[in-house]
Amino acid sequence: MNIMTMLSTCKAMRLAVGLLLGALAAPSLSMAANHYVRAGATGNGSGSDWTNAYTDLPSSLVRGDTYYFAAGNYIPNGHVFNDPGTTVITLKTATPSDHGTSTGWSDSYAGQVVFGGGSYAPGILDFKAGGYVIDGAYRSGWESGYGMRIALPPMSAIPQGAALRDVWIEGLTGVNIDNITIEYLDMPGYGHGVSQSFYQYGFYAMGWDPGQGGTFSNITLDHCYVHDLGAYATTMLTGQITNFLIQYTEVARNTSVPDFHSEGISDRGSSNVTIRYNRYINIQGTGFIVMNNAGTPQYCNNWQIYGNVMWEKDYSTYLVGMGAVACINYNHCTNYFVYNNTIVNVGWNQNQGGVDFYEAATDSSNINVENNIWYNSINVSPVQPYQGGTPINSDYNFYISSTGVPSESHVQTGTSNIFQDSANGDFHLVTETSDGLHLSSPYNYDPDGVLRGSDNNIWSRGAYQFAPNSSSPNPPANLAVSVH
């Protein structure tokens, strides 16, 4: 063997030994795995495939892993998610095209996954830790065909004065719960107007007042349905969340009573909140989107509210007192961007149909209300903070058959119904509006994914861009949310 060959062989040996020693010294890495849950499975119950699936969700879950569900009813008495660690655990409805292993799979296993329906538990999906994705995978419409659904216990099983929550992210003192995403989940109540002796919440993530509870971060509701709640109930009660996203979700038909005012969403002190591309339908009580508190004023900062429809379909029954967006109870509300929403049949008698910051704290500032459409609404002029502070910036709005229209530099008014089918909730435009204020990302796409300003460089007012040549594009994906 010549000297060059010997040197090359020695180098290769040293490299191999170094790689081996490095591998031995490195910490062991666990690979993410899939597990399978199928009601009625008769295999060995290991969860390793569809034949040997778990028959219900195990009490403890493996961080980083995915749990696929066949159609059926599971965790009838609820489940507490409190697994150590932070790597994301995913619970997912299996479909013919996405079901993990094919071992033991049959397309007949695809269908709706139902959680709950048994004994009372304070939270049916109860999170004491973060790092979870609940993914129902699909829906057939805003109000139907969800891949996952919450089933409620019998009303008789709920103690008087107790609280029931479809989804509960617990406010634990000194704990920040981070990174929870809920997708394609149907969260019902017992029905609008139902009299009940307990409290109910569709989605509950309340940290209470600072120093008296926990906090949350990176919470997402995406393609969900929160609806039909009875008396002493609120569809969404939230607070102390940083980075909160609600999108493509319908909130509908709550019940408000004199001693328990309800809202579409009631928040107490969240920041960096994005509420976009949702439908709020038939909301009773204070307002559609309301910042309030339980006695201690909260700080609510950087709220981006855009591309939503807020519609009182049955406005003889569903009435709000303080309009589409309200900051009350002397909360500190700063940096609000209320852009390109369509607001229909809101306001009654002497109450407000616009935005109401009358009770906002004196330091509330940078409140912007632009590019919206109000149709058939009452008292739509924005209500300024009565204690002073920075006036609301209201401009480029379109007021159709509405009263109390404010003075704006670029106001548009009219009396014609310009929607495709407003009686049935289709608020796409049949004609172009006056040009609105052109904005940067993330406000430059409508709920259908149409680029705003795409019609002859006219930025349509309201939730939907006028797009006569559009062919139902896909919604935008992975839009960045700017923080102001």
Question: The whole model's pTM is what?
Answer: 0.91
Closest CA to 262 of 249, 280, 243, 248: 280
Taking residues 251-279, what's their average pLDDT? 93
Could you give phi then psi for residue 171, rounded to 5 degrees?
-85, 95
Q: Average of pLDDT values for 5-25?
A: 42
Sequence-distant (≥ 6) Cβ neighbours of residue 408 within 8 angstroms? 394, 395, 396, 397
pLDDT score of 384? 86
Q: Which of 119-123, 207-211, 466-470 has the highest mean pLDDT?
A: 119-123
What integer pLDDT is reported at residue 315 of this predicted model?
81
Per-residue confidence (pLDDT) for residue 317, from 0 to 100: 84
C-alpha closest to that of 311 among 277, 275, 283, 351: 283
Structure tokens at 38: 């199928």
pLDDT value, residue 342: 98
Segment 429-447 mean pLDDT? 98
Amino acid at 276: R
For the ranges 66-75, 300-309, 375-384, the lowest mean pLDDT is seen at 375-384
Q: pLDDT tens digits for 213-254?
A: 899 999 999 999 999 999 888 899 999 999 999 999 999 999
Q: What is the DSSP annotation of 397-412?
A: -EEES-SSPPP-TT-E
What is the average pLDDT score of the chain? 90
pLDDT band at 126 (very low <50, low <70, confident <90, very high): very high
Helices (H) then strands (E): counts for the chain: 1, 35
Number of Cβ within 10 Å of residue 395's Cβ equals 16
Measured CA to CA, the distance from residue 356 to residue 333 in angstroms comes to: 11
Q: Is 350 exposed, middle or buried (0-12, 13-18, 19+ CB in 10 A)?
A: exposed
Q: What is the pLDDT of residue 23?
A: 41
Neighbours of 456 (CB within 10 A): 8
Distance CA 210, CA 422 (A): 43
Residue with more model confidence, 316 or 152:
152
pLDDT confidence bin for 207, thresholds 50/70/90: confident
Does residue 11 carry a pLDDT above 60?
A: no
pLDDT at position 120, please?
97
Do the beta carbons of residue 223 and residue 249 sit within 8 Å? yes
Expressed in percent and rounded to 5, the helix, strand and coil fractions of the chain are 5, 35, 55
Read off the pLDDT of residues 271-325 as tens digits, 9 standing for 90 and up: 999 999 999 999 998 899 999 987 889 999 999 999 999 999 998 788 888 899 9
Q: What angle do CA 172, 175, 181 make, to 5 degrees?
A: 85
- Look at residue 76 and tell me whether its pLDDT is greater than 50: yes
